[in-house]
Structure 1
Amino acid sequence: MAEKIYPMLIGGKQVTTASAFDVMNPATGEIVGQAPELDEAGVESVLVEAQAGFERWSAMSGAERKAVLLRYVDVLEANRARLVELLQLETGKPQDNAEYDFGMLGQCLRFFVEEVERLDQPVLHDPEGRFMHYMLRQPLGVCVGVLAWNFPLLNVAYKIGPALAAGCSVILKPSPETPLASLEVAYLAKEAGLPDGVLNMVTSQDHEAVRPLLTSEVPALVTMIGSTRGGLEVMNAACTSVKHFSVELGGNSPVVVYSDADVVDAAHKVVDLKFVNCGQVCVSPNRCFVHESVYDAFVEAAVKRAATVEVGPLITERARASVLAMVEEAVREGATLCCGGMPKEGPGFSMEPTILSDVQQPMRVVREEIFGPVLPIVSFSDADDEVALANDTPYGLAAYVFTTDLKTGLRAARDIQAGSVCVNEPHYSVQLPHGGLKQSGVGKDCSQYSIEEYLTLKRVSVLLD
């Protein structure tokens, strides 16, 4: 029996093409649906429709847009069970992870329709008293978003929340590994009354098919969630005209556990975050630096905690093989395998939660972002500069510090080069900005700082005298 094809959404219409690609459940290896391959006609159409959608949407009042977006939240909530089930089919996620992924849609849409009303548009002082100067914020334009597969609906939410609240239109391309639930989310926008062309979604496995969306002069902003290499390719392709960029890229986040930390609490919190989504999280703690005086106690507590966690599959067999190869290489180079390190029996691409001790800084498992269920633990002493160890990476997305000393925590938070530093507990929410330093990206998702990415900043001067 032929698999169900989930059409693209272009200008409010569901669109298929001559070819489609399979979407596989990584927990079972079974094909669960198909999505169309974007073609040249689709590219031309979606650019025209998105521009028309922007003109319609940006001309509406903020109150009108708010009403539509809140109706959209209600429609999404009414379809929660169906969307979560489909999300689990294409990602293999456990139920709680899928519910969280879906839940970010409503959280982001609700937050940003309120946040846009709080935007500051200040009046500026005129030294001579002849002018009234003020700042005006207006919707930026058409936005193209290239999204990752690890949290499909959260990634959609991070983009449509601020973009639609600001009055922009969007063209989203979900990952070819996980496009199905995202497409269903897009279809429901019409039911909520979102004007045609405001939310468009296209699919493809072919990077070259998407390139014309990036090279076109229509988009005002290109945004992305993905790897640093992928981000550089997207930004390079888009630089055929002046555009805004907001990209959240690779992480390889450090943890620093000081000698005065609550060791068991730290181990539990690090392990719990590490194995969320099978370690396939951009802010996952990937390099765990623990003071030598509490090192053994931390490793013991981490191993015990790891035995209690439930993990889903890695996204592909290739991804699992790559992670397993990094573990094997680390063990050959002297690391100790404390737990895990093997594929799980049965169908799909699952792997045991893995903890490595006796890990050294030069090992590849430390130098490269793992993106899998592996926690390498590195010992440091008073003679080491632990902040320098944490900063010894081209990335700077997130970092975690555990200490009971206020000065130590504040100093580490100041000096660690990361877009987010959490002291004594990892914490993320739509109210807080999320984005990286160095090679981890530019711009922010979430918070008031995200919505500013989707707005122009215009100065107006009116002669009074």
Structure 2
Amino acid sequence: MYQEKLELLIDGTWRQGSEGVSEPLINPATEETLSHVPHASTSDLDQALSAAAKGFKVWKKKTAAERYAVLYKAAELIEARKDSIAEVLSLENGKPVAEAAGEIMFSAEALRFYAEEGKRAYGRIIPSRTPGVRQIVMKEPIGPVLAFTAWNFPASNVIRKLGGALAAGCSIIIKPAEETPGTAVAFGRCLQDAGLPDGVLNIVFGDPAVISSHLIASPIPKAVTLTGSTAVGKLLQKQAADTLKRCLMELGGHAPVIVHKDADLEKTLDMIVMFKFRNAGQVCTSPTRFYVHESLYEKAIAGFVERVKKIKIGQGNEEGTQMGPMIAERRLGLMDELVQDAVLNGAKIVTGGERLDRKGYFYAPTVLRDVPDTARIMSEEPFGPIAPFTSFSDFETLMERANSTVYGLASFVFTQDGALARKTEEALEAGMVGVNFMGISTPETPFGGVNQSGDGSESGIEGLEEYMRVKFIAEL
């Protein structure tokens, strides 16, 4: 049962939209309506902007230690409410409850990290050329922040933005995805219960285009951050240019997986299958193009398919579920298009390649082989449970193919040769590279891409500094 009451949070008050507009929240595993998501009117948005301006004046004056106390307490509340929030997340997103609970725990750890790191936003003293002059470099919060998040990670996408902005001393207006609103609302209640002052956090929902254009046009926010598609990121950056807002963009990816001829194939397959079908492949760092050395190609496909056929598909709250549904009907149509295009270009379907005949937005885990570079799936981010395989023989051609997309978020390399690993990781156009390991997202390490996968980093000290600006003082 869906337990979260969906409301807007504006200036410390939970309420419905002033015009009474809402949209249904659909369970992607059953297609049933869970609740209704309130839409903010332009009047509501203006109130949120005013509240953020007021909240910033209060929050930035708090000491780092005072901000730490509030954020740390909120993290404790998130952890204490883990089970109920995980149930909400699973129902609205579709991922298994255990996976959702892990995401909630990650969020609590990330908020703790930011709370601690806010106390270490160091400046510096620079020796002066002039006797008696002190030269001081200070870090200060950039100002009110606008944040827009995607539905694939309803908890961690939200907390990365809340944690970084709040720890830096900024206020924030966040618009979580309307497909997965309850997790963000639950986090907002934790922060409010922890003592966050009114107006420091504001949560709104509604038509994404209307909300983003209205909020970004305001001179009040000084930064915009998005977790979403590359197309939307470009649009928001264009809008932000009119007022020269700083932009932090975590956008799409199309991660190549490179399996060299000396890779430990069994361990490699265990790892890449698990990460490929996590959240039904709806992960920006999901492995999405599989380049396997020709000497291992047949064995790799056979082993991959063997493991895929053992994946248990079902609702997130069903015992043993390993993969849930896609987020919406529209995603199923795109999966069909990508598979059909690949086949028309010469690829072969090894397993899957179709919607499952059941209620909900389920797509069969799919493996394609002999996929040519001309197929759309080799250049367009699939964001779904499709694994396209192709082989390679020489290194230089491999790197050209691996770096051939506009993206540059994550890449993965499997080899037991240290020199080859280093050569490969240095040649890859990516913000993050995993070598014989796919755990590239932690609270304390930077998360971000290059090229059209975004600009800036979340998590780590880098994630805090995105919400701070530099002030230089020369004092005699």
TM range (shorter): over 0.9
Partner-residue secondary structure (3-state), 2:222: strand
CA distance in 2, matches of 1:400, 1:53: 42
| Deviation for aligned residue 1:459 | 1.4
2:361 counterpart of 1:349: yes
CA distance in 2, matches of 1:188, 1:261: 45
RMSD: 1.5
| Deviation for aligned residue 1:21 | 0.7
Percent of aligned pairs with the same amino acid = 36
CA distance in 2, matches of 1:250, 1:61: 36
| Deviation for aligned residue 1:265 | 1.7
CA distance in 1, matches of 2:424, 2:396: 14
8 Å Cα contact 1:5-1:35 kept in structure 2: no
| Deviation for aligned residue 1:206 | 4.3
8 Å Cα contact 2:68-2:119 kept in structure 1: no
Cα deviation 1:336-357 (Å, max 9, x = unaligned): 2111112223210011111111
1:316 corresponds in structure 2 to 328
2:266 counterpart of 1:264: yes
1:365 corresponds in structure 2 to 377
TM-score, structure 1 length as denominator? Answer: 0.96
TM-score, structure 2 length as denominator? Answer: 0.94
1:432 corresponds in structure 2 to 445
Cα deviation 1:38-65 (Å, max 9, x = unaligned): 1011111000001111111111111111
- Compared with structure 1, are the counterparts of its residues 104 and 4 closer, same or farther at alpha carbon in structure 2 (3 Å cutoff)? closer
1:6 corresponds in structure 2 to 6
Partner-residue secondary structure (3-state), 2:155: helix
CA distance in 1, matches of 2:199, 2:306: 51
8 Å Cα contact 2:78-2:104 kept in structure 1: no
**2:65 aligned residue (63, 66, 78):** 63
- Compared with structure 1, are the counterparts of its residues 272 and 211 closer, same or farther at alpha carbon in structure 2 (3 Å cutoff)? same
CA distance in 1, matches of 2:187, 2:116: 21
**2:92 aligned residue (90, 93, 109):** 90
1:446 corresponds in structure 2 to 459
How many residues were matched structurally?
A: 461
Cα deviation 1:416-449 (Å, max 9, x = unaligned): 1100011111122111101110001101011011
Partner-residue secondary structure (3-state), 1:6: coil
| Deviation for aligned residue 1:299 | 0.9
Cα deviation 1:101-142 (Å, max 9, x = unaligned): 212221111001111223331222334555322210111110
Partner-residue secondary structure (3-state), 1:395: coil
Cα deviation 1:19-42 (Å, max 9, x = unaligned): 111110100000101111110111
For structure 2, list consecutive stretches of 5 or more residues without a partner in the other structure: 312-321
CA distance in 2, matches of 1:459, 1:5: 46
| Deviation for aligned residue 1:231 | 0.6
Q: Which moved more, 1:300-309 or 1:318-327?
A: 300-309
| Deviation for aligned residue 1:288 | 1.0
2:309 counterpart of 1:288: no
8 Å Cα contact 1:9-1:187 kept in structure 2: no
| Deviation for aligned residue 1:88 | 1.3
CA distance in 2, matches of 1:446, 1:6: 28
Cα deviation 1:153-175 (Å, max 9, x = unaligned): 11111101111111111100011
8 Å Cα contact 1:26-1:314 kept in structure 2: yes
CA distance in 2, matches of 1:126, 1:238: 37
Letter of the aligned partner of 1:325 in structure 2?
A: E
8 Å Cα contact 1:35-1:180 kept in structure 2: no
Q: Which moved more, 1:66-75 or 1:48-57?
A: 66-75
Partner-residue secondary structure (3-state), 2:157: helix
| Deviation for aligned residue 1:78 | 2.6
8 Å Cα contact 1:290-1:379 kept in structure 2: yes
2:178 counterpart of 1:165: no
CA distance in 1, matches of 2:39, 2:126: 50
CA distance in 2, matches of 1:26, 1:179: 14
Q: Which moved more, 1:206-215 or 1:101-110?
A: 206-215
1:43 corresponds in structure 2 to 45
- Compared with structure 1, are the counterparts of its residues 183 and 146 closer, same or farther at alpha carbon in structure 2 (3 Å cutoff)? same
1:25 corresponds in structure 2 to 27
1:108 corresponds in structure 2 to 110
Pairing 1:144-163 to 2, within 5 Å after superposition: 144-163=146-165
Letter of the aligned partner of 2:46 in structure 1?
A: E
8 Å Cα contact 1:5-1:34 kept in structure 2: no
**1:202 aligned residue (186, 201, 204):** 204
For structure 1, list consecutive stretches of 5 or more residues without a partner in the other structure: none
CA distance in 1, matches of 2:200, 2:405: 39
CA distance in 1, matches of 2:61, 2:405: 45
Q: Which moved more, 1:273-282 or 1:405-414?
A: 405-414
8 Å Cα contact 1:420-1:434 kept in structure 2: yes
2:410 counterpart of 1:398: yes
Letter of the aligned partner of 1:32 in structure 2?
A: L
Letter of the aligned partner of 2:461 in structure 1?
A: Q
